[in-house]
Amino acid sequence: MFRFVLTRVTLIVPTFIGITLLVFVLIRLIPGDPIETMAGERGLDAALHERLLQEYGLDRPVLVQYWFYLLRLLHGDLGRSIVTHKPVIEEFASLFPATVELSLCAILFALCLGLPAGIIAAVRRNSIFDHGVMGVSLTGYSMPIFWWGLLLILLFSVQLGWTPVSGRISVLYFVQPVTGFLLIDTLLSGESGAFTSALSHLVLPTIVLGTVPLAVIARMTRSAMLEVLGEDYIRTARAKGLSNFRVIAIHALRNALIPIVTVIGLQVGLLFTGAILTETIFSWPGVGKWLIEGINRRDYPILQGGTLLIGAIIMTVNLLVDVTYGMINPRIRRPR
Amino acid sequence: MSKSRLLLALAVPAMLIVTPLAAKTLVFCSEGSPENFYPGINTTGTSFDANSQIYSRIVDFERGTTKVIPGLAEKWDISADGTVYTFHLRKGVKWHSNANFKPTRDLNADDIIFAIERQWKESNPYFKVTSSNHSYFNDMGMPKLLKSVDKVDDYTVKITLNAAEAPFLSDLAMEYAGIQSKEYADAMLKAGTPEKLDQEPIGSGPFMLVQYQKDAIIRYKAFPQFWGGKAKIDDLIFAITPDASVRWAKLQKGECHVMPYPNPADLDAIRKDPNVTVLEQPGLNIGYLAYNTTKKPFDDVRVRKAFNMAMNKQAIIDAVYLSTGVAATNPIPPTMWSYNKSIKDDPYNPEAAKKLLAEAGYPNGLETDLWAMPVQRPYNPNAKRIAELMQADLAKIGVKAEIKSFEWGEYRKRAQAGEHQMAQLGWTGDNGDPDNFLNTLLGCSAAKSNGSNIAKFCYQPFEDLVQKAKSVSDQAERTALYEKAQVIFKEQAPWFTIAHSVQLKPVRKEVVDFKLSPFGRHTFYGVDIK
């Protein structure tokens, strides 16, 4: 197992270098530079433009810039935002808990509904429930996040008044971040109203962000379960007189889990993509929205640092998924 | 430590920071996060909105107008030749305080000099702190204009200019000229954390910053010792909400009281809401199509006039601006002083246009390019759509116009270099002075390569009037000069003036005395809530 983990970890190093190089070059291929983008109708005086490019080190050849960037990176310095002039790591750290909180809730929501729905659909194959689940999940999967979010806001917040429109907590509560996870911070504060407010603000964004993973998980669970349920050993288990629950939950589900875990791992990466739109609609102060603004303003350090950090997180999640495979299925971790 | 003690230790400090808000809280659904809390390097209205609550300026714009009124300076004298300004500062102006800094003195001349020198002199230790890109200070021509800034005594500052500049006072009322505390700056420099000056701001304005969470919230509290008297509201909150439809949903539900930039598609619903009033006013802006007057065929005024008559302005406004634009006749907006109401716009008349074009030597029409910005701007919601409508209109008089576009930075650079024949662009006023439109956009010095005058229009009779108006300080005299300049503009037609976009501001009915700023800013001092 140790060797297996070590091999996976070693693979991370070239991936990291690949990410830094790709992001570094790609963002410089977008026309316009950060200094030009900041100027309004008046434009910039050529001499001042030159001086500012020099100040930010953007006048050097791209490879030289990349070399200095790598050197700083090795010292743990991700640079400062060109727009806000704050360290990238500081901005990331202040926004990331919001994205994690939302993503965790979304994946939990997707798992809690998607897994059982997929299992039941597989067990009751071709029933009304099966067709219903598959139809709804296909709709959910094809739903544009922007439209879905606005629709939910109009229905639940504006018409019915059940949920707040946007934000993380009502402006009436003044909770300074301690952990950055508002559910925890409000709970620690002992103010029950604050916790309920934070929770109610999570409902709609969780549904919106969790819809696509929910659909994917439900469909994947169904097909994986169907495949396993047709195996000989399941028939044997049933012939032995095991209860239906035991056959499905213990014998079938464990073997069906491998592709499902893969999909969940991939969904974590996709959650960040979904978070970009969800955060914009719900004014959720997370890293997705931050990166989009970085692109619009050609804020190179933000984009480089942000992508690298998110890349690191996705790689860690994938590593965990690989390790989980090894735990679920010993054949994966043992070389033939 | 036992589990329960640990929990208690964590819970107590957290409990202390949950504080209920005072009765009068106004929530503004702002559209984005500020760049930082130093207005000297800000370039966006969003940042200016966040900062103008905190800082005071030497002089101010009267709320809702472009009129300059006393700010930190209670009065001023201008020398007869218009080059020396002596400002007499208010006494007893208090500074805010925060965890890092408690002021020991009131505002004085040192603070004013620091604020100017920080943007002006590279030798100032703060020149490069946060950024050395003092965008507006440079744009308003301050480095060339300023000769010296001197302290006469603790409450008197003398600013000497290299030449008379009538809009100088207006320039000082702009947000970039917000005054920071020199005492705080010195303390932070000594502590080795100069950047804190721009991140944890200390101002002398009506509201002090309590909390800022990027992309989430800016929380202010009314400053009880504000020199103009405490604000009528107690707490001011900017709930950062980037999506326009979501801002409207929040306003509708009462989660915020004022919202900027409504989505045009929501306007009908907003107008029907009994709890909301929509304030509207033509903004201090203009969208136009500039003819390159140095290139054929647009070096001939008849061609320019013919084009002006060939394009159906009202149809463009109806199709693209919807209810958010009014037709523009003059190069300055109607809300600006010296706007010449007597000028009539060129009528839409394709037949007359065709005839005039033939007279100019183009009986069979001509070919030209037509540039359209790739981005939405405050004065132009969709330049490409406008270009298509213009193209169709011009085809009717035999003109074949080819639409071109580039990336925004490139577009601006090439247009300023004069590579185009016809290009759309626009302007949003900085200081409310007509000079900021007529000289900045149509003056001879701006017609040089890389200047803002993309029509490359340099016409001596117009130039003489505009330059004279810049050097006299009597407003009545200036008005007469600018009115004449607008007549010449219309005769010479360097632009097809398209529209002034209308500023629309949905405000809940419980908000009292909110005034639209001609600059599109949001000022909450003086606003009350029922």
Q: Per mean pLDDT, which range of A82-96, B53-67, B90-104 is the poorest?
A: A82-96
Q: How many CA atoms lie within 13 A of B43 on its CB side?
A: 22
Please, which residues have CB within 8 angstroms of residue B160's CB and are 6 or more apart in sequence? B83, B84, B85, B146, B147, B148, B149, B150
pLDDT at A111 over 60: yes
Instruction: Among A46, A167, A284, select the one facing B450 at the smallest CB separation.
Output: A46
pLDDT at A213 over 70: yes
Distance from CA of A70 to the nearest CA of B (A): 23
Q: How far is CA B10 from the centre of its chain?
A: 46
**Inter-chain CB proximity B241 and A283 less than 8 Å:** yes
Reported as a single tens digit per residue, the pLDDT across B287-301 is 999 999 999 999 999
CA-based nearest residue to B390, from B377, B406, B401, B404: B401
Question: Is the Cα dihedral A143, A146, A151, A157 positive or negative?
Answer: positive
Give the mean pLDDT of B413-421.
91
- What gap in Å lies between CA B334 and CA B327, rounded to an integer? 10
| Beta carbons of B167 and B16 less than 8 angstroms apart | no
Q: Is B195 on the interface with A (CB under 8 A)?
A: yes
Give the mean pLDDT of B427-439.
91
Reported as a single tens digit per residue, the pLDDT across B447-481 is 877 788 999 999 999 999 999 998 888 889 999 99
Q: Is B213 on the interface with A (CB under 8 A)?
A: yes
Which residues sit opposite B277 in a β-bridge?
B507
**Inter-chain CB proximity B416 and A172 less than 8 Å:** no
User: Chain B interface, mutation test: which of A99, A155, A165, most B Cβ atoms within 10 Å?
Assistant: A165
| AA letter at B69 | I
| Beta carbons of B228 and B465 less than 8 angstroms apart | no
Reported as a single tens digit per residue, the pLDDT across B28-87 is 999 989 989 999 988 888 999 999 999 999 999 999 888 899 999 999 999 999 899 999
- What gap in Å lies between CA A44 and CA B509, rounded to an integer? 43
- DSSP class of A249: I
pLDDT at B20 over 70: no
Give the mean pLDDT of A189-217.
90
| Beta carbons of B244 and B262 less than 8 angstroms apart | yes
Distance from CA of A88 to the nearest CA of B (A): 13
Contact list, A40 vs chain B (CB under 8 Å): 43, 428
Distance from CA of A186 to the nearest CA of B (A): 8
Name the strand (E) or helix (H) holding A59. none
Q: Per mean pLDDT, which range of A109-123, A230-244, B81-95, B516-530 is the poorest?
A: A230-244
Q: Is A37 on the interface with B (CB under 8 A)?
A: yes
Q: What is the pTM of this model?
A: 0.85
CA-based nearest residue to B527, from B506, B504, B510: B510
| Beta carbons of B521 and B333 less than 8 angstroms apart | no
Q: Is A332 on the interface with B (CB under 8 A)?
A: no
User: Chain B interface, mutation test: which of A54, A166, A280, A284, most B Cβ atoms within 10 Å?
Assistant: A166
- State the burial class of residue A323 (Cβ atoms within 10 Å of its Cβ: 0-12, 13-18, 19+): middle
Q: Is A253 on the interface with B (CB under 8 A)?
A: no
Reported as a single tens digit per residue, the pLDDT across B330-366 is 999 998 999 999 999 999 999 999 999 999 999 999 9
CB pairs under 8 A between A and B: 162
pLDDT at B17 over 80: no
Contact list, B252 vs chain A (CB under 8 Å): 158
Give the mean pLDDT of B404-417.
86
Reported as a single tens digit per residue, the pLDDT across B229-261 is 999 999 999 999 988 889 999 999 999 999 998
According to the model, what pLDDT value does residue A189 have?
82
pLDDT at B22 over 60: no
Q: Residue A334's pLDDT band (boundaries 50, 70, 90)? A: low
- What gap in Å lies between CA A304 and CA A73, rounded to an integer? 11
Residue A298: closest CA among chain B residues belongs to which residue?
B409
Joined tokens for residue B26:
């106004």
**What DSSP assignment string belongs to B365-378?**
-EEEEEE--SS-BT
> Chain A window 165-224: which residues touch B at a Cβ cutoff of 8 Å?
165-168, 171-178, 185, 188-191, 194
* φ, ψ (nearest 5 deg) of residue B477: -65, -40
CA-based nearest residue to A52, from B43, B78, B475: B43
**Inter-chain CB proximity B21 and A164 less than 8 Å:** no
* φ, ψ (nearest 5 deg) of residue A261: -65, -40
Instruction: Among A150, A153, A176, select the one facing B17 at the smallest CB separation.
Output: A176
Residue A182: closest CA among chain B residues belongs to which residue?
B14
Map tokens 């200016």 to a residue: B48
| Beta carbons of B24 and B39 less than 8 angstroms apart | no
Where helices occur in A182-252 by DSSP H, the ranges are 182-189, 192-229, 232-239, 244-246
Q: Which of A46-50, B405-409, B513-517 has the highest mean pLDDT?
A: B513-517
Residue B37: closest CA among chain A residues belongs to which residue?
A84
According to the model, what pLDDT value does residue B14 have?
39
| Beta carbons of A209 and A270 less than 8 angstroms apart | no
Distance from CA of A256 to the nearest CA of B (A): 40
Instruction: Among A42, A166, A194, select the one facing B18 at the smallest CB separation.
Output: A194
**Inter-chain CB proximity A189 and B213 less than 8 Å:** no
Contact list, B242 vs chain A (CB under 8 Å): 280, 283, 289
Contact list, A95 vs chain B (CB under 8 Å): 214-215
According to the model, what pLDDT value does residue A17 have?
86
User: Chain A interface, mutation test: which of B246, B251, B419, most A Cβ atoms within 10 Å?
Assistant: B246
Residue B441: closest CA among chain A residues belongs to which residue?
A42
Distance from CA of A81 to the nearest CA of B (A): 10
CA-based nearest residue to B498, from B410, B415, B427: B427
- What gap in Å lies between CA A145 and CA A274, rounded to an integer? 7
According to the model, what pLDDT value does residue A333 have?
61
Q: How many CA atoms lie within 13 A of B28 on its CB side?
A: 27
| Beta carbons of B455 and B291 less than 8 angstroms apart | yes
According to the model, what pLDDT value does residue B385 have?
93
> Chain B window 236-265: which residues touch A at a Cβ cutoff of 8 Å?
237, 239-243, 245-246, 249-250, 252-253, 255
pLDDT at B157 over 60: yes
- What gap in Å lies between CA A91 and CA A306, rounded to an integer? 9
Q: Per mean pLDDT, which range of A114-123, B131-140, B415-424, B459-468 is the poorest?
A: B131-140
Reported as a single tens digit per residue, the pLDDT across A269-305 is 778 777 888 998 898 999 888 888 888 888 899 999 9
Q: Is B428 on the interface with A (CB under 8 A)?
A: yes
10 Å Cβ neighbour count for B78?
Answer: 15
pLDDT at A335 over 70: no
Distance from CA of A204 to the nearest CA of B (A): 13
- What gap in Å lies between CA A119 and CA A244, rounded to an integer? 13
CA-based nearest residue to B321, from B260, B377, B370: B377
**Inter-chain CB proximity A165 and B246 less than 8 Å:** yes
- What gap in Å lies between CA A106 and CA A99, rounded to an integer? 10
Instruction: Among B25, B407, B428, select the one facing A32 at the smallest CB separation.
Output: B407
Cis peptide before B297 (omega within 30 of 0): yes
Q: Is B139 on the interface with A (CB under 8 A)?
A: yes
Give the mean pLDDT of B183-199.
94
pLDDT at B8 over 90: no
Give the mean pLDDT of B157-170.
94
Burial A293-313 (b: 16+ CB within 10 A, else e): bbeebbbbbbbbbbbbbbbeb
Reported as a single tens digit per residue, the pLDDT across B107-141 is 999 999 999 999 999 999 999 998 888 888 988 88
- What gap in Å lies between CA A47 and CA A51, rounded to an integer? 6
Angle at B100 (CA atoms; ends B193, A90), nearest 5 degrees: 55
Q: Is A48 on the interface with B (CB under 8 A)?
A: yes
User: Chain A interface, mutation test: which of B214, B241, B276, B428, most A Cβ atoms within 10 Å?
Assistant: B214
Distance from CA of A284 to the nearest CA of B (A): 7
pLDDT at B12 over 60: no
Q: Is A47 on the interface with B (CB under 8 A)?
A: no
Angle at A31 (CA atoms; ends A27, A32), nearest 5 degrees: 95
According to the model, what pLDDT value does residue B11 have?
40
pLDDT at A4 over 80: no
Please, which residues have CB within 8 angstroms of residue B447's CB and are 6 or more apart in sequence? B453, B455, B456, B457, B458
**What DSSP assignment string belongs to B123-177?**
TSTTTTSS-S--HHHHHTTHHHHEEEEEEEETTEEEEEESS--TTHHHHHTSGGG
Residue B93, helix vs strand vs coil: coil
Distance from CA of A288 to the nearest CA of B (A): 11
Please, which residues have CB within 8 angstroms of residue A128's CB and are 6 or more apart in sequence? none
For every residue of B12-63, which 3-state class applies, written as one string? HHHHHCCCCCCCCEEEECCCCCCCCCCHHHCCCHHHHHHHHCCCCCCEEECC
Instruction: Among B20, B132, B252, select the one facing A55 at the smallest CB separation.
Output: B132
